[in-house]
Structure 1
Amino acid sequence: MKQATKIITILTVLCFPLLAQSQVSIKLSQPSREQNNVNTSKQFIAGRTCIGCKLTINNDSVYVYPTGTFAVKKELVQGKTTFVLHVRDSTGESYTKTIVYYYSPAPAPRPTETFKIDFIEVSPKGNLEVTEGDTLKVKVKAYPGQKAFWFNDTPLTELPAAQSSGVPGYYVGSYIITPNDSLLNGKLTVSLKGRNGQTAYLTSPNRYRYMRMESPRTGRTIDNMTYITSATEGDRLGPEKLGYLDKGVLLQIIGRQGEYYKVKLSSKKNAYIPAAFLDTEIPQEGVPVSIVSDVQIYGDDKYDYVTVNLSDKLPYISTQTNDPGKIIIDIHGAYAEQRINNQLRNTAEITQASWGQPTHDVFRMILSLKHNVWGYKMYYEGNKLVVRVKRVPPNLALSNMTIGVDPGHGGSNYGATGLTGAIEKNLTLGMSLLLRNALEKEGAKVLITRTSDQFVNNEERLSYYRQVDPDILLSIHMNSSANPVDVFGTATYYRLPFCEPLSAAIHKRLLETGLADFGNNGNFNFILNNPTEFPDALIETLFISNPGDEAAILEPAFQQELVQKIIQGLKDYIIQAKK
């Protein structure tokens, strides 16, 4: 009874913005000002008025949703465009708001008109520590038709105008670092030499240092929340993660880009790691190449295991396949000189183990499973790498499972805001509490990140669930877009291949609510989509930026329907997992 009362209270809070908008008025979310200078013709007018009122924009009727919200798309002509919004309630009381756009298209790129260099772009970006064999690339915009030079007077090539949006004067080039290059934390200079003997110079905004490799520079990972990435930049969620490493893994540093070290995993594979995650105050020694000779494959009463004895804690990267279920693990800096044991002892999930050597210093394990992957953990015991493989539970049903439920955002992290003023952090909490209750009625044990308006950072969430190790993890969020008219629908997200069946099963059921299909999206870089320990799915239930979707989620009956569809999706996934 207490839980039900709490959920009803939360839902009342969620709907409060609707009750407050009873006076005849117009509150705009887009645009945020009455006078607007813009350089794109497509603009949105979206906001909220009184419930049940009639709205026109320049005398054209606009649909007002039951929540009092509205959203329209407008195409502007160049110059000044005025929109008059007029709203009237059933008693005849009215209100008018005027907004003005001044639309001037962004100027087309133009050639540099005087003898000068406009800008330099060097990649990789940021302050760099480089070493022999690294490649620097440069792009320069300057006065067309001249001679341009950069690093060690290396000439640059002016692109044909057809390759630079019709604008001449773009010069490009690259340079491969050699041991003789002198880079003493200095900037790079580009020179432009004219036909009449004049010269212009411009220096790069960043600094560059040569990292000499007479003796290896190494570091060890500080804890088991340390991750490596494929680059130093990425989308709004950060660089793409290659995976997490255990504490104490030895890595060879071969460069630095901004706040990331560049590390050499093996002869043909580099990666990046946040500098703060690597302890470099260790005895400096060469990274060994480990000869793999002792591999054990066995099971106990709960898990299957593979152990590999190594000469040190070496880095590893894993992936998976479905149908058939396989786990593929590459240990970098290791190789096998002889036939490796693949005898299985008391395993219930691993049906076969095979070994490969994709390069001379990468040892590959391929673990074939009885079912699709249910989860696995990689860690070190001393210098022995352990792969602990979860078994599909023998009595697979929600009543025998532990489900993690993660309500997105919370506290000072509001998430998105709908046109009614409804806030994502409240909606995700209300939905998650409903989901928890429904799962518990099915007999499941539920672990939940928060039960109140509390801030929990994403790293703490990830650490918590990796420690408690649920059978499945569901993250509940609401989507949002700057386009409130054309973007709507339900979506699920996963990153690792073995999580696709769970995400797809839930997504298929959510579509039965009548929501539009925004896709079951893979390779998504959300932090809680990264663990290998359990199947997970990020559920972006709908777009609260869209007035139709937002109106739906504010209906308690629709929230209950969404919860039931999520549970049906879980049950569908469980049926698949038994096969």
Structure 2
Amino acid sequence: MKACNVQSCRLLMVLLCLSASPVLAQLPSIRDTVLTGYTRTALTPMYYGLGTDRLGGARMETLDSNVVLNVTGIDSTQKFWRVRLAPSLTAFVPVEQVRVDTLQPYPVGSLTGNWTVYGDTAGQALGPSFDYVAVRLPARLPYRSQQQVNPSRLVVDVFGATPNTNWITQLRSVQAIRNVWFEQIADETFRIYIDLVHEQSWGYSIYYQRNTLVIRVRRPPKTYRLRGLTIAVDAGHGGSNTGAKGNQSGRFEKELTFDVAQRLRALLERAGVRVVMTRTNDTLLGPTARIIAMRQALPDMLVSIHFNSSGNAAIRGVSTYYKHIGYRPLSQTVLQELLKTGATEFGNVGHFNFFFNVPTDYPNVLVEGPFLSNSADEALITNERFRQNMAKAIWKGIRKFVKKAR
């Protein structure tokens, strides 16, 4: 057997520790060992920090599979790898989502290549159509993205990269992208700017094709009306995941969300919408299964329906939630209509870490109906007329959002 150098031997020992201890009980001694890791799935979460609430830390990005990571240690809970993105920026990735490689070094000094900006052509896309920004890289480097408004723009940071892009080929087939450019904002942080033609962002996805980073920008609907759109409706909870329970009625949240979702479905279909339901019966579906299903369905937008609950029985009201600033208008218009049902206001909540607010692929909103833990709110919820009015309010809010986006 060929002798290994000190670094390779140390990494081999780390790998043996990992394989011998599923709960990573032996890892405190290697908290500061430098490793090269690769993301396992196309839904790998990357967090700013570890967080303390039930939703976990604030999510920085959802990474594609086989993205290379510069792992510098493990956190005290032994559940998250600490990842160095740039000299002054650290992130955390769940241990079970990373494959450690003892043979490959982290690609230091990666140079960006040339770009191509193009769009789907007539007849190419049967469903939604897109524009694309393809950036050639030497490896599948980590990234993060954000939406900006006024002006409408996408900003993508690629970590571990230095610009060597000397030309950007832009084809006339683009429709949703106005301009693209880049700058090196710091060591190992290469920033991509994508100016959008339309004020309202209709979604984008980031993924790799081999070592080419692709930013896929969704074009607006062909017409700004409900007819012809595909809208996903998510009835929260289901199966053994019952959700909250009414203090007076004893009714489960899963039953009530399904009732409102079915009412909303009927209203949307009557308006000519193709409705995609995440569940059509009392079925247990986890977050990952729901998100994967929506990635395949590619709806024009998504609404997830829940009812709220609190340990403080005095708290009440309806609320809507978003994570990405470009989707706030949808949450605002829906809340405005919900407040016309007679429910009080709990608020419009931003940068929320709910799993269905995380995708950037389509505008989305989490609707939290009144509180099952409040007696007055529970009386509203269990009233069939209120649930019909709630579904109608969501429908009206969606319709107004689409009209305003024009």
TM range (shorter): 0.7 to 0.9
- With over 3 angstroms needed to count, the CA separation of the structure-2 counterparts of 1:438 and 1:513, relative to structure 1, is same
Partner of 1:475: 304
List per-residue Cα deviations over 1:226-271 (Å, max 9, x = no partner): 1111122331112211111111100011010121111112222211
Letter paired with 1:422: R
TM-fit CA distance, 1:286: 2.7
Alignment of 1:56-71 (within 5 A): none
* Offset, 1:537: 0.4
One-letter code aligned to 2:110: S
- More strand, by proportion: 1
Give the equivalent residue in structure 2 for 1:69. Answer: none
| CA deviation vs aligned residue, 1:145-189 (integer Å, no higher than 9, x gap) | xxxxxxxxxxxxxxxxxxxxxxxxxxxxxxxxxxxxxxxx9xxxx
- Matching residue of 1:326: 153
Q: Give the one of 44, 49, 57 matched to 1:231.
A: 49
2:363 to 506, 529, 535: 535
1:544 CA drift (Å): 1.4
Report whether the alignment pairs 1:544 with 2:362: no
Aligned to 1:406: 234
Residue 359 of structure 2 aligns to a residue whose secondary structure is coil
Pick one of 442, 460, 467 that aligns with 2:271: 442
CA 1:238/1:211 → structure 2, altered by over 3 Å: closer, same or farther? closer
Q: How large is the Cα RMSD of the aligned pairs?
A: 1.9
1:313 corresponds, among 140, 152, 160, to 140
Q: State the match for 1:86 in structure 2.
A: none
Match of 1:521 among 349, 355, 367: 349
Could you tell me how far 1:404 is from its partner in structure 2?
0.7
Cα distance in 2, alignment partners of residues 298 and 478 from structure 1:
43
- Equivalent residue for 2:280, pick from 438, 451, 454: 451
2:130 maps to a residue whose letter is: Y
Q: Counterpart of 1:539 in 2: which secondary structure?
A: strand
| Long gaps (5+) in structure 1 | 1-184, 186-205
Give the match for residue 72 of structure 2.
254
Deviations, residues 86-117 of structure 1 (Å, cap 9, x unaligned): xxxxxxxxxxxxxxxxxxxxxxxxxxxxxxxx
Equivalent of residue 492 in structure 1, options 320, 329, 346: 320
Alpha-carbon displacement from aligned partner over 1:194-236 (angstroms, at most 9, x marks no partner)? xxxxxxxxxxxx98425565xx511111110111111223311
What one-letter code is carried by the residue in structure 2 that aligns with 1:531? P
CA contact (8 A) 1:466 1:531 kept: no
Q: Among residues 18, 27, 35, which one is paired with 1:217 in the alignment? A: 35
Structure 1's 211 and 482: CA in aligned 2 closer, same or farther, altered over 3 A?
A: closer
Q: Is the 8 A contact 1:342 1:353 kept in 2?
A: no
Within a 5 Å distance, the mapping from 1:53-92 to structure 2 comes to none
1:339-358 residue pairs with structure 2 within 5 A? 339-341=166-168, 343-358=170-185
Correspondent of 2:340 among 477, 492, 512: 512
Over 3 Å counting, the alpha-carbon distance change for 1:284 and 1:337 in structure 2 is: closer
SS at match of 1:280: strand
* Distance (whole Å) between structure 1 residues aligned to residue 106 and residue 376 of structure 2: 61
Aligned equivalent of 1:561:
389
1:367 aligns with 2:185: no
Q: Which residue of 2 aligns with 1:278?
A: 98
Superposed displacement of residue 476, structure 1: 0.3
Q: Give deviations 1:40-74, integer Å, cap 9, x for gaps.
A: xxxxxxxxxxxxxxxxxxxxxxxxxxxxxxxxxxx
Give the drift of 1:281: 4.1
The aligned amino acid for 2:147 is Q
Amino acid at match of 1:521: V
Measure, in 1, the Cα distance between the counterparts of 2:318 and 2:268: 21
Letter in 2 for 1:474: V
CA change 1:363–1:342 in 2 (3 A) is farther
Please give the TM-score of this superposition, normalised by the length of structure 1.
0.62
How big is each residue's C-alpha offset from its partner over 1:342-369, in whole Å with a ceiling of 9 and x where there is no partner? 7453210101112111112111111111
Count of paired positions? 372
Q: Secondary structure at the match of 2:168?
A: coil
- The residue matched to 1:400 in structure 2 has which SS? coil
Letter in 2 for 1:260: F
1:461 is matched with which residue?
290
User: Is the CA contact (8 Å cut-off) linking 2:32 and 2:74 kept in structure 1?
Assistant: no
> Could you tell me which amino acid in structure 2 is paired with residue 511 of structure 1?
L
Contact 2:68 2:106 survives alignment (8 Å) = no
Larger deviation, residues 503-512 vs 463-472: 463-472
Match of 1:120 in 2: none
Equivalence for 1:243: 61
Task: Verify the 8 A CA contact 1:355 1:365 in the aligned structure 2.
Answer: yes
| Paired residue secondary structure (1:237) | coil
Tell me the equivalent position of 2:7: none
Gaps of 5+ in 2: 1-16, 18-25, 122-128
Question: Which residue type is aligned with residue 224 of structure 1?
Answer: A
Residues 263, 300 of structure 1: alpha-carbon distance in 2 compared, 3 angstrom cutoff: same
Shift of 1:467: 2.3
Structure having the higher Rg: 1
> Which stretches of structure 1, 4 residues or longer, exceed 6 Å deviation after superposition?
none
- 515-524 or 321-330, which deviates more: 321-330
Q: Write the deviation string for residues 275-317 of structure 1: whole angstroms up to 9, x where unpaired.
A: 1000114633232332123011111232110000000000110
| Residues 454 and 525 (structure 1), Cα distance of their counterparts in 2 relative to 1, 3 Å cut | same
Deviations 1:458-483 (A, max 9, x none): 22112211222111111000000112
